[in-house]
Amino acid sequence: MSPMSESAAHSLTLIEKVTEQIRAQLASGELRPNQRLLESALSEKLGISRNTLRESFRLLTKEGLLRHESNRGVFVATPSIASIIDIYRVRRVVECRALSQAYPRHPAGRQMRQAIEKAYAAQQQSDWRTVATANMEFHAAVVALADSERLSTFYDQIAAELRLAFGLVDDPEYLHAPFLDQNNKLIELFEAGQAEAAAQELEHYLTRSERMVLALYAKFTAA
């Protein structure tokens, strides 16, 4: 490999890493809808050049996670009703199928259980941001049951978009408290070998969650 191609490969790897870092910040709720991202501050925080950051911004804008406004800068995107509906459509297809066909002793089952324990511990501290993060980790573990790296990578993007939708609502307890026990019920069914019943329960769960998010979104946009 020539020096030029080695440099290009290194640059691509760095851009991918930075993109993943920012995507993780979106998925964790650290970055919120409509928040402006300042190149100078973020490039310094991440220890990268502005050119690298701009390329990462370009990729995340293409994914619909950021938006660029001429003469104003780059902002965290605000999901539309159509995108929220599509996200839940994808979740029902991917998560329910992964759960229904999974082996009860799949290693991802432990990740699901750990995420639930993390969420309950955070609930005791009224740390609802951590509860929300643990909830996302639970569903990422459900997707991991499919043993597909491509699906899990794709779900990372979906999770970031979903967290942006959650970020429109300044009441994480209302959003996430009702689903803690639901997550626990899902893992109990799964561990008992009732994967199909767990998948059916998850489908109802996702429909309920979608209706709640859409109702809150409508309230937010009407304000």
Taking only the tens place, the pLDDT of each residue in 158-168 is 888 888 888 77
135 residue type, one letter: N
Strand intervals (E) in 58-139: 66-69, 73-76
Q: Token pair of 160, please?
A: 């970031």
- Alpha-carbon distance 161 to 84, whole Å? 8
Domain boundaries, the chain: 3-76, 81-222
Taking only the tens place, the pLDDT of each residue in 194-204 is 999 999 999 99
223 — pLDDT class (breaks 50, 70, 90): low
- Alpha-carbon distance 75 to 73, whole Å? 7
Beta-bridge partner residues of 76: 66
CATH of domain 81-222: 1.20.120.530
86 — pLDDT class (breaks 50, 70, 90): very high
Please name the CATH architecture into which domain 3-76 falls.
Answer: Orthogonal Bundle (1.10)
- Alpha-carbon distance 146 to 119, whole Å? 23
Residues 6+ apart with CB under 8 A from 76: 26, 31, 32, 33, 34, 35, 37, 65, 66, 67, 164
Taking only the tens place, the pLDDT of each residue in 121-131 is 999 999 988 99
User: How many residues are recorded in the chain?
Assistant: 223
- HSE of 38, CA atoms in CB hemisphere, 13 A: 4
pTM (2 decimals)?
0.79
